[in-house]
Amino acid sequence: MLDLLISNGTVIDGTGTPGFAAAIGVKDNTLTIIRGAADPVQSRRVIDASGMVVCPGFIDVHAHSGLVILDHPQHEPKIRQGITTEVIGVDGNSYAPFRHQHDLDDFIELNSGLDGTIKNARWATVADYLRVFERKVAVNVVYVIGNSPLRINAVGWENHEATSPQIEDMKALLREGMEEGAFGMSTGLDYPPGSYATTAELIELAKVVARKGGIYHTHVRYSLGDRFLDPFREAIEIGLRSEVPVHITHFYQRLPVAGSADAMLALIEKARDDGIEISFDSYPYTLSASRLLIVVPQWAHGGGPERLKEVLQSVEARPQLRDEIKHRGPSWQDMFLTNFLRPENHRFEGRSVAEVAAMLGTTEADAVCDLLVDENLGVSYVAANGNGTTLPKFVAHPLSMVGSDGLLIGDFPSPRTYGTFPVILSEFVRMEGFLSLSEAIRKMTSFPARRLGLSDRGLVKEGMRADLVVFDPGTVAAPATRRNPKQFPLSIPFVVVNGQLAVDQGRPTGVLAGQALRL
């Protein structure tokens, strides 16, 4: 007897080929495909998927869930989109390995504007960290090791070039972490202390990743060179010299400049044609989001979070900070703040930096500094920072997959936290026809699975693991907006994780079947 039978739906298997009629059976977290009449098949639960699509569970290749999901394990913003697996540890900012508890605690504080914070984070190794997810969260996690913890362990918090022994120490930590299950290394080269790494240092680390069969997942160094193509050239150079597969995250055209989207995509295509294994992800929104700390110049970060807070409130440093703190996006009016934990600061939720500065009677730079100190660095923002005209070129490109880059904190997160995958299915597929439904599903399932090395997921195929989504292609939608972002998608009634229903008739079941997947 089957555990679950999904009948009468159109199966889109994740390969990019058109859908076909079949029933899908699940037993002991294993898929079977039943062609023809499924009536004689016995099952404990039967779902009638008439008029709906049945496809593999979606894989979010850029997720900021590494801490938040531990406090909110049902993970509704993601599971209700049909996401069954997430890549965590992105942007160079991850939470293992850490040799010293105080460094882990300090790093959680430093990165709280991206990933939030939790109490009693008690782990040291990658193996320890992965165990805290096992059957305790709603989705599967794929972990990449950020280069920031590697640097903190081996070099410290200062902006020093790593010595040869320190690089060897980082390589050993990375090798051990991958042997414990990590899928590769991430960088966030706008985020200290990982941003202090040189290209040569990253090449040496990437060689370890390549030998272990992992990927290099990179938020590039946007301040480099011409600040246009040079940041991506550095990522390509790292791939070329280390022979590691390169994945460039949140790749899209930020500002409208004639021809820039075509130039960016041509650079990636040339790298592929030159033999580099390269891919990227994009999200289908023109709103970016990050920790507010990203606007603070890198020299202020040296020494860790306590030293950083001293600099932010220093009378001597403030004139230089006023001069160097710049908005991200078109203006301060286009950066909207969120994640205020102090009650007296809740009035600033969802307001622009310009509005908040006016409310406080100060400059935007001073408001940034004061609020970061007041909130222990945990403020985040959403900004208008993308060219909607060229965005479909990136989303529809054959080398592109889907990453939400969605922050799960604050009252006003980016709407992509709740809507990334259904927006592609509704607006980019059904309404505008930028890509076919089968191709969109391939980008969300088998393509990332293959890139990551998940051999038993990402396809509806005999013997694969039972991560599935059932949705109505005619009505699926994402109502989340910037002003009202916490709205769940429509018409995704069933989600299966490791053979168990995580969403049943549109409602989360509370089942925590997620696993920490290992390379």
* Tens-place pLDDT, residues 458-471: 999 999 999 999 99
Percent of the chain at pLDDT exceeding 70: 99
The candidate with the shortest Cα–Cα distance to 375, out of 105, 116, 119, is 116
**3-state class of 364 per DSSP?**
helix
**3-state class of 435 per DSSP?**
coil
Contact 355, 361 (CB under 8 A): no
Q: What is the CATH number assigned to the segment(s) 58-289+385-458?
A: 3.20.20.140
Alpha-carbon separation of residue 97 from 53, 148, 328, 334 (angstroms): 41, 10, 31, 37
> What residues have CB less than 8 Å from 404, skipping those under 6 apart?
60, 62, 63, 78, 83, 283, 416, 417, 420, 421
- The CATH 3.20.20.140 portion of the chain extends over 58-289+385-458
The encoded tokens of residue 341 equal 């934990």
Confidence class for position 329, pLDDT limits 50, 70, 90: confident
The crossing angle, in degrees rounded to 10, of helices 101-110 and 305-312 is: 40
* Tens-place pLDDT, residues 232-241: 999 999 999 9
Residue pointed to by tokens 């991206």: 114
Please give the distance of CA 443 from its chain centroid, rounded to a whole number: 15
Section 5-15 average pLDDT: 97
Contact 459, 449 (CB under 8 A): yes
* Tens-place pLDDT, residues 114-161: 999 998 899 999 999 999 999 999 999 999 999 999 999 999 999 999
Contact 88, 114 (CB under 8 A): no
Bridge-based pairing of strands 500-504 and 494-497 is antiparallel
Section 262-268 average pLDDT: 97
| Alpha helical stretches, state H, 339-458 | 353-360, 364-374, 391-396, 416-423, 437-444, 446-452
Bridge-based pairing of strands 335-338 and 380-384 is antiparallel
Q: Please say whether the dihedral angle defined by the alpha carbons of residues 196, 61, 417 and 396, taken in this order, is positive or negative.
A: positive
* Tens-place pLDDT, residues 417-475: 999 999 999 999 999 999 999 999 999 999 999 999 999 999 999 999 999 999 999 99
Q: What is the C-alpha to C-alpha distance for residues 200 and 92, in angstroms, rounded to an integer?
A: 16
Confidence class for position 259, pLDDT limits 50, 70, 90: confident
Q: What is the C-alpha to C-alpha distance for residues 381 and 402, in angstroms, rounded to an integer?
A: 21
The encoded tokens of residue 338 equal 């969120």
Contact 291, 114 (CB under 8 A): yes
The candidate with the shortest Cα–Cα distance to 432, out of 486, 392, 465, 376, is 392
Average pLDDT, the chain: 97
> Full-prediction pTM beyond 0.95?
yes
| 38 has a pLDDT exceeding 70 | no
Section 324-349 average pLDDT: 96
- At 365, the amino acid letter reads A
- At 132, the amino acid letter reads V
Residue 66: CA atoms inside 13 Å, Cβ hemisphere, count?
31
CA torsion, ordered 458, 464, 465, 466, to nearest 10 deg: 80
Our CA angle for 287, 239, 394, nearest 5°, is 30
Confidence class for position 254, pLDDT limits 50, 70, 90: confident
Bridge-based pairing of strands 140-143 and 83-88 is parallel
Identify the helix (H) or strand (E) that includes residue 130.
Answer: helix 126-131
Look at residue 385 in the predicted model and tell me its pLDDT: 86
